[in-house]
């Protein structure tokens, strides 16, 4: 009877069978992220109806948007890891202080990006192109996305509080509602339907931030009523150095890692636009399409991280290793399905974006070549999340730096100079192979440093008993 009471008090992340737990926590996140991927595609699909230059402008805005999302989600990874670990250790005071400091950090991030977007959006586009129409479209789009970015920072933060306690079903609801609102208002605001003004590219940005703001409000409400393990108090909003340091010990490498993606995208855009703006548009379209493959894997990871962090705090190594093995299996399976779709239907995928003959000629081989990298990416993504969950965020950072800056950009630049446009896409599978090698080396290191000592400690305890 006492054992049963203990199990009831234990969070499900410490007692539920691992496969069922991983699926129950990951599937809602995977569904919500698929909806997110859908609205990313719908955004560009409607913008493409305006003109190819409008689509190119949105593609060029991606590095800045990605940087903003990198800060939000990277900080969220730190919040997730610290909060879940604190739950595993039954340190509920630190749980609540972590939640309060998370809200404070979200507000600070919003202020920084609102100022940067308001003053430097035009400069950002003039650094990439001298085509005036693209610059004007891009400036309109980016100013709205940054000045109203409190929605995305608030949404991500409060969703992480839900994820950290295993309540991923509610994050599926918040992300789904936000995405659906975006999808509905995209054509209305872009083309001026139902009495709304015709806003063009600015309408796509307005629909995006409106969906984010609604999702933010809904996430706050769900945390208040459905997340009793986390209590927000005004006194906890005051920053605590030790909490902020612990959040960013994991979060900063994750932020830098995701920000490196912005640097890579900016560099690739510069390489591609030297051939033709259409190549840049193709690259932007690829990023929208690949989100349908990568987002479910990221959803899987969002379910995996709190499980690993909780059981790390609770010193249950066998649950950690089983969670990671299952995550790798599911991630590779998802990526393989994505590879098949990109290989067999590239022209159909590009047709979604009103692709011209020129865009199809560039895009079809591009999608097929890049998709080869999917074979290796799933494993590396799971390893990266494992490193973060166990407090080794710097290892994830090194893998990202090596893949995107040390390998991908230099290889793309050299191939562009030596062999022409079509060869540029080969840089992606080359970079992912390098990522696989480094991820495996780092995984061995983390296993020996973190997991193996816990197993040996358990074996010694059993032997002495």
- pLDDT per residue over 173-196, tens digit each? 898 898 889 889 999 999 999 889
pTM: 0.71
376 membership: H or E segment, kind and range? helix 374-389
Tokens of 114: 């609102």
Q: Could you tell me where the DSSP H helices lie in 192-239? A: 201-226
pLDDT in tens, 68-94: 988 998 888 888 778 877 777 777 777
Q: Which of 2, 125, 119 is nearest to 59 (CA)?
A: 125
Question: Which pLDDT score is estimated for 8?
Answer: 40
240 C-beta neighbours (distance < 10 Å), count: 16
Q: What is the pLDDT of residue 337?
A: 94
The set of residues, in sequence order, having a beta carbon less than 8 Å from that of 300 and lying 6+ positions away, is: 22, 26, 29, 30, 327, 330, 331, 334, 382
Mean pLDDT over 248-277 rounds to: 83
4: confidence class by pLDDT, cuts 50, 70, 90: very low
d(CA 322, CA 127): 47
- The pLDDT, as a whole number, for residue 11 is 63
The reported pLDDT for the residue numbered 5 is: 40
Structural tokens at position 257: 């890692």
Least confident of 241-245, 351-355, 394-398, 451-455: 451-455
Q: What is the pLDDT of residue 435?
A: 92
| pLDDT score for 360 | 92
Q: Which of 160, 446, 444 is nearest to 305 (CA)?
A: 160
pLDDT-derived band at 295, boundaries 50, 70, 90: confident
For residue 447, the surrounding DSSP H or E stretch is none
Please compute Rg for the chain using Cα positions. 22
User: Which residue, among 363, 338, 339, has the nearest Cα to 353 in the 3D structure?
Assistant: 363
| CA atoms of 163 and 78, how far apart (whole Å) | 12
CA 335 to chain centre: 16
Amino acid 6: pLDDT: 41
The answer to whether the beta carbons of residues 406 and 326 sit under 8 Å apart is no
Phi, psi for 216 (deg, rounded to 5): -60, -50
Picking from 81, 234, 100, 240, the residue whose alpha carbon sits closest to that of residue 158 is 100
SS3 for 372? coil
**Measured on CA atoms in the order 132, 136, 137, 142, is the torsion positive or negative?**
positive
For the chain, what is the mean pLDDT? 85
Neighbours of 151 (CB within 10 A): 21
> Could you read off the pLDDT of 264-286 as tens digits, one per residue?
888 998 899 889 888 988 998 89
Instruction: Check pLDDT > 70 for residue 7.
Output: no
Give the whole-angstrom CA distance, residue 409 versus residue 415. Answer: 10
**Cα–Cα distance measured from residue 235 to residue 59, given in angstroms and rounded to the nearest whole number:** 42
Chain segment 339-349, per-residue pLDDT in tens: 999 999 999 99
pLDDT at residue 219 in the model: 92
| Residue closest to 9 by CA, chosen among 108, 68, 87 | 87
pLDDT at 3: 40
Is pLDDT above 90 for 372? Answer: yes
Q: Taking the CB of residue 459, how many other CB atoms lie within 10 A of it?
A: 10
What phi, psi does 228 have (nearest 5°)? -65, -20
pLDDT for the residue numbered 320: 84
Residue 1, pLDDT > 60, answer no
């Amino acid at each position: 009877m006492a054992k049963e009471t203990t199990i009831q008090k234990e969070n499900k992340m410490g007692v539920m069978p691992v496969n069922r737990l991983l699926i129950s926590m990951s599937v809602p996140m995977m569904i919500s992220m698929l909806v997110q991927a859908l609205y990313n595609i719908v955004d560009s699909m409607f913008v493409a109806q305006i003109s190819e230059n409008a689509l190119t402008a949105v593609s060029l805005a991606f590095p800045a948007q990605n940087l903003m999302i990198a800060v939000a989600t990277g900080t969220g990874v730190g919040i997730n890891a610290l909060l879940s670990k604190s739950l595993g250790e039954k340190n509920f005071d630190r749980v609540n202080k972590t939640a309060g400091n998370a809200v404070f950090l979200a507000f600070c991030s919003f202020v920084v990006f609102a100022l940067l977007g308001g003053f430097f959006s035009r400069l950002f586009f003039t650094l990439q192109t001298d085509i005036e129409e693209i610059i004007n479209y891009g400036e309109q789009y980016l100013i709205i996305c940054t000045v109203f970015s409190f929605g995305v920072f608030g949404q991500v933060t409060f969703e992480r509080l839900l994820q950290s306690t295993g309540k991923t079903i509610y994050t599926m609801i918040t992300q789904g509602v936000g995405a659906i609102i975006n999808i509905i208002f995209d054509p209305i605001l872009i083309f001026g339907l139902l009495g709304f003004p015709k806003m063009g590219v600015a309408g796509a940005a307005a629909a995006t931030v409106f969906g984010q703001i609604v999702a933010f409000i809904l996430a706050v409400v769900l945390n208040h009523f459905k997340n009793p393990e986390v209590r927000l108090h005004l006194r906890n909003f005051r920053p605590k150095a030790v909490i902020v340091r612990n959040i960013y010990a994991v979060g900063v490498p994750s932020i830098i890692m995701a920000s490196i993606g912005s640097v890579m995208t900016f560099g690739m855009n510069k390489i591609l636009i030297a051939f033709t703006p259409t190549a840049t548009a193709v690259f932007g379209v690829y990023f929208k399409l690949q989100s349908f493959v990568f987002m479910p894997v990221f959803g899987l990871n969002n379910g995996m991280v709190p499980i690993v962090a909780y059981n790390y705090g609770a010193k249950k190594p066998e649950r950690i290793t089983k969670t990671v093995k299952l995550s790798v299996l599911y991630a590779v399976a998802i990526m393989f399905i994505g590879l098949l779709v990109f290989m067999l239907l590239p022209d159909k995928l590009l047709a979604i974006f009103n692709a011209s003959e020129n865009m199809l000629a560039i895009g079809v081989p591009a999608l097929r070549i890049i998709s080869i990298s999917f074979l290796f990416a799933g494993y590396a993504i799971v390893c990266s999340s494992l490193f973060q969950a166990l407090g080794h965020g710097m290892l994830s950072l090194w893998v990202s730096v090596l893949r995107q800056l040390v390998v991908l950009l230099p290889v793309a630049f050299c191939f562009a100079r030596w062999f022409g446009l079509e060869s540029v896409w080969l840089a992606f599978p080359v970079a992912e192979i390098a990522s696989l090698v480094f991820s495996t080396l780092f995984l061995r290191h983390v296993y020996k440093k973190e997991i193996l000592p816990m197993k040996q400690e358990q074996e010694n305890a059993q032997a002495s008993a």
